[in-house]
């Protein structure tokens, strides 16, 4: 198994860090504050978590079939799970703090449900994290930098599986950062 490779361990550590961050985010957060929005068109903490869970699942869905085919074809690991040039740029664009020029509307497919219960959104996020971690460990021995999949949100764009995993982790940091800002604003509004 290649799960002990430094690049795979780093991705797993990033997923674990997102789990810890999300756990701290919802600790002592009641349902009202978890659903609080600064403005009508902004997202609550629960909606940020719901969005992440949905995005994780859709990305994994797009990545799964190419990974299965690669396994069948014996596409074994040739090097580290690193994104290509465009993939690195795309993943960096996701990183917080979000710059005004890189704000974008979420694709319709991954918009959060309206007012999801905080506990449900958090549980969905944790389950999706487990699914990403399982994918990472199951396919760690594949050529993640050489196997491509269609981006589920941008037609005509194909990324390697390594890019997909790096985008998932960067996207999580982006929206956990956003959710922390919402939580602090909710606490300030209540004070």
Q: Which pLDDT value is given to residue 170?
A: 96
| % helix, strand, coil for the chain, step of 5 | 65, 5, 35
Q: Which pLDDT value is given to residue 1?
A: 45
* pLDDT of 40 strictly over 90: no
Tens digits of residue pLDDT in 112-146: 888 999 999 999 999 999 999 999 999 999 999 99
In a domain, 153, yes or no: yes
Predicted model pTM:
0.93
Tens digits of residue pLDDT in 150-176: 988 888 889 999 999 999 999 999 999
Q: What mean pLDDT do residues 40-66 have?
A: 96
Q: How far apart are CA 48 and CA 171, in angstroms?
A: 11
Q: Read off the tokens for 76.
A: 């074994």
Q: Which pLDDT value is given to residue 75?
A: 93
Tens digits of residue pLDDT in 89-118: 888 888 888 766 656 777 677 888 889 999
Looking at the 3D structure of the chain, how many domains does it have?
1
Tens digits of residue pLDDT in 70-84: 999 999 998 899 998
In a domain, 12, yes or no: yes
Enclosing domain of residue 173: 6-190
**What angle (nearest 5°) sits at the alpha carbon of residue 129, between those of residues 174 and 125?**
70
In a domain, 1, yes or no: no
String of DSSP letters for 74-115: T-B--S-----HHHHHHHHHHPSSPPGGG--PPPGGGPPPSS
What number of CA atoms fall less than 13 Å from residue 28's CA on the CB side? 3
Question: What confidence tier does 36 reach under pLDDT thresholds 50, 70, 90?
Answer: very high
In a domain, 150, yes or no: yes
In a domain, 142, yes or no: yes
Q: What is the CATH number of the domain that holds 69?
A: 1.20.120.450
Please count the helices (runs of H) and the strands (runs of E) in the chain: 6, 2
Q: Which pLDDT value is given to residue 2?
A: 63
């Amino acid at each position: 198994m290649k799960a002990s490779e430094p690049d795979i361990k780093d991705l797993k550590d990033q997923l674990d860090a997102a789990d810890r961050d999300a756990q701290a985010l919802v600790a002592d957060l009641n349902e009202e504050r978890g659903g609080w929005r600064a403005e009508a068109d902004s997202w609550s903490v629960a909606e940020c978590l719901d969005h992440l869970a949905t995005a994780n699942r859709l990305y994994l869905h797009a990545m799964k079939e190419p990974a299965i085919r690669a396994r069948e074809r014996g596409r074994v690991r040739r090097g580290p799970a690193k994104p290509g040039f465009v993939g690195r740029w795309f993943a960096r664009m996701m990183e917080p703090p979000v710059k005004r020029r890189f704000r974008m509307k979420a694709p319709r497919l991954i918009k959060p449900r309206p007012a999801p219960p905080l506990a449900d959104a958090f549980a969905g996020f944790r389950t999706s994290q487990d699914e990403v971690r399982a994918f990472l460990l199951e396919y760690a021995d594949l050529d993640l930098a050489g196997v491509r999949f269609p981006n589920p949100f941008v037609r005509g764009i194909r990324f390697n599986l390594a890019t997909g995993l790096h985008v998932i982790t960067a996207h999580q940091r982006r929206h956990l950062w956003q959710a922390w800002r919402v939580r602090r604003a909710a606490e300030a509004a209540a004070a």
